[in-house]
Amino acid sequence: MSQTLAAHGGHAVEAAADVERPPLGVSWQKLMMWTFIVSDGLLFAGLLVGYGFVRIASASWPNRQEVFHLPLIGFMTFLLISSSATMASAVAAAGRADRRATVRFLLLTILGGLAFLSMQAYEWTSLIQEGARLNANPWGVAAFGASFFVITGFHGSHVLSGVVILAITAWRMGAGKSTAGGVELAGLYWHFVDLVWVFIFTLFYLI
């Protein structure tokens, strides 16, 4: 009887270990962050595909060279790429347990994010002053305004929340309360924001 009980107890211990062992070789936290990234990415995919549908279905579309200031957009892209590099450096520094370097790189990333948001706000302001609205714009295609403000606004809200997350992470790291894993998770979110901009920059501003 004691052998049977021991066998059942052994199976229970094994089952518990299976539940705790993370799948795909990553921690549960990282796997959940990737799950969130995929789901949020599909949200952006839906918006961009919807924009693609509207654009292909339209007889005409505003000339992007007349509407957008491409040097400004190019510089915004540079800022986001640079902030991704500083974020990756922060993750590397956290992995080495270099708290000061981690906080320094996180602050640089936050600076890049804030600069990007300021330029986005400037772009929005200049287009609104020219008459662009959600349901109308001076360039003759009503869907253009809605596409632009919804897609860039949705992305901008992600950048803003990313800045908040990074500020909290930097504060916690400075106070010795954050782990390298926490910085890595914040980094995944920030790189995702940069990744989405790669698609928006190409599909909306260049094509």
Partner 1 sequence: MANATQGMGYRRYWITWFFLLAVTMGMLLLEYVSWPQWILLAVLVLAMLVKASVISGYFMHLRFEKPALILIIGAGLLLTGAILFVLLALDASRVNQLSVR
Query: Which residues here bind partner 1, judged by CB under 8 A?
Result: 24-27, 29-30, 34, 37-38, 41-42, 45-46, 48-50, 52-59, 65, 70, 74, 77-78, 81-82, 84-85, 87-89, 91-92, 94-96, 179-181, 184, 187-188, 191-192, 194-195, 198-199, 201-203, 206-207
**Cα–Cα nearest to 135, from 150, 157, 154, 155:** 150
**Cα–Cα nearest to 30, from 196, 188, 165:** 188
Q: How far is the CB of 10 from partner 1 (least distance, A)?
A: 29
**What percent of the residues of the chain are helix, what percent strand, and what percent coil, each to the nearest 5?**
85, 0, 15
Q: How far is the CB of 108 from partner 1 (least distance, A)?
A: 12
Q: How far is the CB of 8 from partner 1 (least distance, A)?
A: 32
Nearer to partner 1 by C-beta: 2 or 66?
Answer: 66
| Contact present, 102 and 94 (Cβ < 8 Å) | yes
Nearer to partner 1 by C-beta: 167 or 195?
Answer: 195
Q: How far is the CB of 99 from partner 1 (least distance, A)?
A: 14
Torsion of CA 61, 53, 121, 67, to 10 degrees: -10
